[in-house]
Amino acid sequence: MFNVMKTALLMAGITALFGVVGGILGGQQGMLMALGFALISNFFSYWFSDKMVLRMYNAQEVDATSAPQLYNMVRELAEKAQLPMPRVYLINEDAPNAFATGRNPAHAAVAATTGIMRVLSTRELRGVMAHELAHVKHRDILISTISATMAGAISALANFAVFFGGRDSQGRPANPLGAIAVSLLAPFAAMLIQMAISRAREFEADRGGAEISGDPAALASALDKIHKFAQGIPLGPAEAHPETAQMMIMNPLSGGGLRGLFSTHPSTEERVEKLMAMARR
């Protein structure tokens, strides 16, 4: 419940940020134009992102004949979660990882790499797929699309200000130094809020996945194992398309300083600790 409230507050925060930035940089007209542009681009992303992402990862759809263990596991968990059966995909990559996509539970897909199939035990893999189905159940693709819409609109406004100058709410030229400062800082702030939303959703999917599988310790063990095995094993499609990293159960990209602040995922240690606390309860 805390992470649901946190997500709601962060969504309110990024919406308020958009309003403030729009008023400073573009006035009402510029703000509406930027929001319209972001809505159009993210509308197409929302409806077609699953096909685009699965194509990026060269994911191959499987069934009960071609991948019986994975397919039957997902079917059992989907029934337990009272979800429609999603499409199931395999990705021929050594890096252990998995993700869910699709605009709603009726049009969902889950994908796992061949690496995660080799690394995890059946019990651990079940925990991972339950986590992905929790994302589907929580409609996290919709939440990430809305946050991306607002962040994209803020960035569009900032670019507008850089090239054409800022405008106040009456359409008059804004203070140039203030406009420059806002145009530089606003996209940065929007990115931080968007990443915080993603981290909150991961915690919530961990909790939901543990409830679906009924085995929080298995998911905790899986996360710990993925974290250790993924070190030094690049996930090529994620490196080529870093915007997809937030979809994965574990961030496949390496990070530098201030990693926690700029990461789309919480620390593995914190996720494992929360899951083990659930297991003890």
Question: Residue 100, SS3?
Answer: strand
Per the document, the length of the chain is 281
Distances in Å between the alpha carbon of 98 and those of 7, 73, 136, 183, 211?
23, 14, 13, 36, 19
User: What span, in angstroms and rounded, lies between the C-alpha atoms of 63 and 65?
Assistant: 5
- The DSSP bridge partners found for residue 88 are 62, 110
CA distance 189 to 15: 12
| The two structure tokens encoding residue 218 | 């298995």
Question: Do 59 and 89 touch, CB atoms closer than 8 A?
Answer: yes
> What is the token pair recorded at 78?
């989907």
DSSP structure string for 224-262: HHHHHHHTT---HHHHH-GGGGGGBSS--S---TTHHHH
- Cα gap 84→65, rounded to integer Å: 19
- Which residue out of 61, 79, 93, 132 is catalytically annotated? 132
| Inter-axis angle of helices 140-164 and 2-25, nearest 10 | 20
Residue 63's CB is within 10 A of a number of other CB atoms, namely 11
Helix 140-164 with 176-213: angle, nearest 10 deg? 170
| Extended strands (E) in 131-203 | none
- Taking the C-alpha atoms of residue 236 and residue 80, their distance in angstroms, rounded to an integer, is 33
Is residue 132 annotated as a catalytic residue, yes or no? yes
Which residues are catalytic, by number?
132
